[in-house]
Amino acid sequence: MHRIPVLVVAVLALSACGSPAKETAAPEVATLASPSAAVSASAAPQRPRERLDTTPEEFEAMLAPYNNCMAEHGALSKSDLAKGAVAKPGSDKDTAKFDEANRICEPQYFPLPPWEKDPANPESKDFARDVVKCLKSKGVKYVEVSDDGISIALGGDDNDARSISMGMDLIPGCERATAAKLKD
């Protein structure tokens, strides 16, 4: 029990016994790139993470490594598919090629959702409930947390167009307001 404090004192005493500090040492200057920083940088790809305020342009930029990976594996990316790059339905071979490439590329490069909406975040369900409360306080009648516990469902069983329209307009503001409250 007393070994740890004794060990700490011994280490501190030994470190104080080193050579005396040079008084004429030149001040260190920060640089943009140092050799030690370049060596310690990880070569493994890092998945970008969206923010609640990520713009469509920023998201497309985040997708660039994913799209490049998909192209390297001979498949169209989700971006290409969303833009209608395929004039005809894909064949089984094309679907298999996409699935195989996506299995490799998505876990490495596809952007993670905002932390507030990430299933890995234990507080994401609370975030969704608070966003629903905000939307209801602003007059959205038919809104609830989806079955996944994280997504927001608008319109109810009747697909109320007013709730859907209002909700789509108000969700970003409610998400930002809720996130700001969590940071306080």
The tens digit of pLDDT for each residue in 109-152 reads 999 999 999 999 999 999 999 999 999 999 999 999 999 999 99
Residue type (1 letter), 90: G
What pLDDT, on a 0 to 100 scale, did the predictor assign at position 81?
67
Closest among 172, 170, 135 to 50, alpha carbons compared: 172
- Percent of the chain with pLDDT strictly greater than 70: 68
pLDDT value at residue 117:
95
Cβ atoms 107, 44 nearer than 8 A:
no
Average pLDDT, the chain: 78
Q: Are 97 and 137 in contact (CB under 8 A)?
A: no
pTM of the model: 0.64
